[in-house]
Amino acid sequence: MRNSLDEAAVPTLPPALQKRSSAVSKGNTEKAATEDSDTNKSSVSAKSRASKNTKFSKTADTTKTQFNKRIPKETADIFAILAVKTGNKIPELLSEAAEMLQDRYGKV
């Protein structure tokens, strides 16, 4: 009786992982560890190069935060149109809306 899995459908590992898995399966964990450290060295050196060439020195403003919430498209359009009409940015309009809602429903 044939195996229900078709051998062609079995995924193969990338060459770098094949070397590591074959070294581990043969009991040669030292070789596998050496291969891991070699790949870590290359990624570390890339990170250190990136930190040396960093063009951005500005730190994040701690008084602000990212606000990602899904809202209806119509609501987003209203804020965009109001931003154009008033010349204010959308975060400023959201702050004003929050103040109005607190006046209506109570301070938070």
pLDDT at 92 over 90: yes
pLDDT at 1 over 70: no
Domain boundaries, the chain: 13-52, 73-105
Q: Residue 72: which region, alpha, beta or left (left: phi > 0; alpha: psi -120 to 50)? A: beta
What is the mean predicted confidence (pLDDT) over 81-101?
A: 96
pLDDT at 39: 54
Chain segment 48-75, per-residue pLDDT in tens:
555 666 776 777 777 888 889 999 999 9
List alpha helices for the chain, DSSP H: 15-25, 29-52, 73-86, 90-105
Distance CA 107, CA 105 (A): 7
Token couple for 86: 């008033």
CB 35 within 8 A of CB 23: yes
Nearest to 81 by CA among 70, 90, 72: 90
The single-letter DSSP state of residue 26 is T
Higher pLDDT, 93 or 40: 93
Confidence band, pLDDT 50/70/90 cuts, at residue 42:
low
pLDDT at 83: 97
What is the mean predicted confidence (pLDDT) over 33-38?
A: 54
